Chain A
Amino acid sequence: MADFEPKISKDRFRPAEIDASKSEEINKPSLTFWQDAWMRVRKNKGALFSLIVMGIVVILALVGPLISGKEFDKQNVSHNNLPPKIQGLEHISWLPFDGVKVNKAGKEIDMYEVKKVDEYYWFGTDALGRDLFTRVWKGTQISLYIALLAATIDMIIGVAYGSISGYFGGRLDNVMQRITEILVGIPTMIVVILMILVLDPGIISITIALTITGWVGMARVVRAQTLKLKEQEFVLASKTLGNSDGKIISKHLLPNLAGVIIINTMFTIPNAVFFEAFLSFIGLGLQEPYASLGTLIDEGFKVLRLHPHEMIIPAVVISIIMITFNMLADGLRDALDPKMRD
C-alpha cells in the first residue's frame, strides 16, 4: 500500500470529460437467433462434417441410379452375385473392389473372369443379377423419401395438435391430452406392424403406419412449449392489442417454436429410416422389384456368408445416414437450445 511518491502534473486533476452515452455502449455486434445458432453449429465439427456427408449421400441417392447406366430392376441372371469391381480401384489390393471373391477354402476367385463379364458392377450384383449400385441408391432414395414424408406429416399433425391443445387449454386441452396419453401408451412397433399387416406394404402404407403414432412425440413437445410461451408478456401484449388467436399462433408462437420443431423433426427422420428398414427386415417391407435400404439388407442378410457385399454395402449406407442425421440433430439441439440437452 503506497505512501505517496512521484510528482503528478496538476492539470491531470481537472474534471474528466466523459461521454455519458459511451458507458451504455454495446460493443458486440448483435446477432439474430438464427445467426447465433448457425455460428454454434459451425463450431461443432461433428455436425458440420455430418452435414457434408449427408449432402453427398443425398446427391448420390439422386444421381446414382442415373450415372450407373443400368436399370434397378433389370435382371441378368448370368451376371448374378458378382462382387464389386470399380475401374481404377481394381488393382489396389487392400480395397474390396477388384471383383475377387474368396471361397470357403480361402482361395481367391475372380468372379468376373469366371463368368466372363466385361462390365463393371461398382457394388456388384444381387442373386438375380441386378446392379447393386443402382439398387442401393434407388433404395436410399426410397428410404429417404419415406422418412422425409413421415417426418413432414408428423410435423404437421404434431404441431397443429400440440399448439392448439396448448394454446386453447382448458377442456379442449384436457380431452386432447387424454388422447395423447393413451396413444403414448401404445408401443410404436406394435402399431406399425399391425398397420402394415392391414394395409399391404408399399411406400404410402409404410408412411401411414409410421405416422399413426409418430406425431404424438412432436405434439407433446409443442404443447409443453406453447404452454410456456403463451404466458409470456409478448403474447399477452399481442392479445391486449386485440390480435386474433390465429394471428398470435402464427406470428408469435410458431416462430418461437421453430427451434424445438426442427430439432424434433431431425430426430424423427433417422427414426423413420430405422423403422422402414426394421419392417423390411421382418418381412413387411416393400415388394419386389422395388428396393429400399431395408429390403436390400434383408436380401443381403440371407446370403451374408456367401456374398457378404450384398448386405455390407446397404448396411454401411444406412448406418451413414443414421449417424449423420443423429449427429446433425445433436448439433442442432445444442445450437438452438443449449438447455434442452437430453
Chain B
Amino acid sequence: MAKYLLKRVLYMFLTLFIIASLTFFLMKIIPGTPFASANKLGPAQMEIMKAKYGLDQPVPVQYAIYIGNLLKGDLGISFQFNNTPVTDLMFKRLGPSMQLGAQAMLLGTIVGILLGIFAALRQNTWVDYSSTFVAVLGKSIPNFVFAGLLQYFVGVKLGWFPVLFWRGFEYTILPTIALSMLPIAIAARFMRTEMIEVLSSDYITLAKAKGASFFEIAFKHALRNALIPLVTVLGPLAISLMTGSLVIEKIFAIPGLGEQFVKSITVNDYPVIMGTTILFAALFVVIILVVDILYGIIDPRIRLSGGNK
C-alpha cells in the first residue's frame, strides 16, 4: 500500500510538472504580443514592461525562473490587473467556485442516486424509463445550452430567481441546477446499473431467504453495496464540474475561477491562464488520487494487489 501510494504521488508530481512545462512553452509560442490590451505603449515602455515581467530574458532562463517560482507557490503577476499576483487573484475567486461546485456536486449526487435507486427498484416501469430519460438529457444537452435556457425561461420569463451575479443564496440556485445536470446523469446511470447488479446477487437472495422485507433489502443490504463503486465516478464528476464551471460562471456572471479564466483567455492574460491551468490540473490529479485511495479503503473486497476492474 505504502509503495503504491508513493508511486502514485510521484506520478502525480510528474504529471503536474509536464503540464506546467507544456503550459509554459505553449504560452511562449503563441503568436501576438502578450500586452494586447496595452498596444498603445511605445517601444521604450514596451521594453520596461517586458523587463518587469522578465520577458527580456532568454526562454530557458525564463523557464527556470518560472519553475522555481512555481515550487515556491508564486505564479507570477497578472498582465491585466497591474501588480496583482496571480495567486491573490485566484484566491479571491476560489470561494464562489468552490461553493458552486460543492452545491452542484451535492445536488447532483443526491438527485442522481435517488433517480438511479428508484429506476433499479422499479425496473422496466415508467419510473425507470423517466429516470433513464432524465439521465440521457442530462448527459446530452450541453450545460451551457441548458444554463442559457434555464436563465431565459425560469429566470427572465418566470422571474423566479435572479439570473446574474453572486449576492446571496438565491443567486446560486439557477447556476447550481445548471451545473448539476451532468452529475445527475452520471450518478443516476451508474447507480441504476450497480443497484440492478447488486439486487441480483446471491447475498440479496440470502437476505430474502432470511425474511427481510423489500425496504430492508433495498436500503439495508443493497444500497451500501451499490454506493461503494460510485466512488469511482466521483473523479469524472468533479472534472465535469470543473469544465462546466467555466461556461456556467460566464453565463451567470459569477466571480469565480472559471469566469476569470475565460476572461483572461479573451485578453491574453498569460500568467492567469497558466496559473489557472496549473491549479485545475493539480485539483484534477489530486481528486483522481484521493478517489483511488478512497476506493481502496472503503471496500473491504477491493485490495490494491487484487487490482481494480
Q: A and B touching (C-beta < 8 Å)?
A: yes
- Listed in ascending order, the chain A residues whose CB lies under 8 Å from chain B are 181-182, 185-190, 193-195, 197-198, 200, 270, 274, 277-278, 281-284, 297, 301, 304-305, 308, 311-312, 315, 318-319, 322-323, 325-327, 330, 341-342
Residue B15 at the A interface, CB < 8 A? yes
CB-CB nearest 9 A-B residue pairs: A322-B140, A185-B15, A323-B140, A315-B145, A342-B193, A189-B243, A187-B284, A282-B262, A319-B141
Distance A341 CA – B142 CA, assembled complex (angstroms): 23
Within 8 A of A (CB), among B149-195: 149, 151-152, 156, 189-190, 193
The interface residues of chain A lying within 8 Å CB-to-CB of B31 are 200
Residue B26 at the A interface, CB < 8 A? yes
The interface residues of chain B lying within 8 Å CB-to-CB of A281 are 144, 247, 250
Residue B207 at the A interface, CB < 8 A? no
Closest-by-CB residue of B relative to A323 is B140
Within 8 A of A (CB), among B90-142: 136-137, 139-142
Q: Which of A189, A195, A197, A326 contacts B139 (CB 8 A)?
A: A326
Instruction: Return A95 CB to nearest CB of chain B, in Å.
Output: 18
Instruction: Return A171 CB to nearest CB of chain B, in Å.
Output: 18
Instruction: Return B5 CB to nearest CB of chain A, in Å.
Output: 16
Are A342 and B19 in contact, with the CB atoms below 8 A? no
Distance A242 CA – B46 CA, assembled complex (angstroms): 69
Are B141 and A182 in contact, with the CB atoms below 8 A? no
Distance A177 CA – B1 CA, assembled complex (angstroms): 21
Instruction: Return A244 CB to nearest CB of chain B, in Å.
Output: 32
The interface residues of chain A lying within 8 Å CB-to-CB of B14 are 182
- Listed in ascending order, the chain B residues whose CB lies under 8 Å from chain A are 11-12, 14-15, 18-19, 22-23, 26-27, 29-31, 136-137, 139-142, 144-145, 148-149, 151-152, 156, 189-190, 193, 239, 242-243, 246-247, 250-251, 262, 265-266, 273, 277, 280-281, 284-285, 288
Are A297 and B141 in contact, with the CB atoms below 8 A? no
The interface residues of chain B lying within 8 Å CB-to-CB of A311 are 148, 152
Identify 20 residue pairs between A and B in the complex whose beta-carbon atoms are under 8 Å apart, listed by A's number.
A185-B11, A188-B243, A194-B26, A197-B27, A197-B30, A197-B273, A198-B29, A278-B144, A281-B247, A282-B247, A282-B262, A297-B148, A301-B251, A311-B148, A319-B140, A322-B142, A323-B137, A325-B140, A326-B140, A342-B190
Q: A194-B26, A301-B148, A304-B148 are in contact. Are A187 and B280 (CB under 8 A)?
A: yes
Closest-by-CB residue of A relative to B277 is A190
Are B193 and A187 in contact, with the CB atoms below 8 A? no
Distance A210 CA – B8 CA, assembled complex (angstroms): 27
Q: A282-B250, A318-B142 are in contact. Are A194 and B23 (CB under 8 A)?
A: yes
Distance A327 CA – B139 CA, assembled complex (angstroms): 10
The interface residues of chain A lying within 8 Å CB-to-CB of B280 are 187, 189-190
Are A193 and B284 in contact, with the CB atoms below 8 A? no
The interface residues of chain A lying within 8 Å CB-to-CB of B284 are 185-187
Closest-by-CB residue of B relative to A280 is B144
The interface residues of chain B lying within 8 Å CB-to-CB of A197 are 26-27, 30, 265, 273
Distance A332 CA – B152 CA, assembled complex (angstroms): 36
Closest-by-CB residue of B relative to A322 is B140
Are B152 and A308 in contact, with the CB atoms below 8 A? yes
The interface residues of chain B lying within 8 Å CB-to-CB of A277 are 142, 144-145
Are B262 and A283 in contact, with the CB atoms below 8 A? yes
Are A323 and B18 in contact, with the CB atoms below 8 A? no
Are B12 and A305 in contact, with the CB atoms below 8 A? no
Are A190 and B281 in contact, with the CB atoms below 8 A? yes
Are A186 and B281 in contact, with the CB atoms below 8 A? yes
Q: Which of A193, A304, A323, A341 contacts B136 (CB 8 A)?
A: A323
The interface residues of chain A lying within 8 Å CB-to-CB of B151 are 304
Closest-by-CB residue of A relative to B15 is A185
Instruction: Return A145 CB to nearest CB of chain B, in Å.
Output: 18
Instruction: Return B219 CB to nearest CB of chain A, in Å.
Output: 22
Instruction: Return A301 CB to nearest CB of chain B, in Å.
Output: 5
Closest-by-CB residue of A relative to B28 is A198
Are B242 and A187 in contact, with the CB atoms below 8 A? yes
Distance A188 CA – B239 CA, assembled complex (angstroms): 9
Q: Which of A188, A305, A330, A341 contacts B156 (CB 8 A)?
A: A305
Are A312 and B140 in contact, with the CB atoms below 8 A? no
Distance A193 CA – B22 CA, assembled complex (angstroms): 12
The interface residues of chain A lying within 8 Å CB-to-CB of B19 are 186, 190
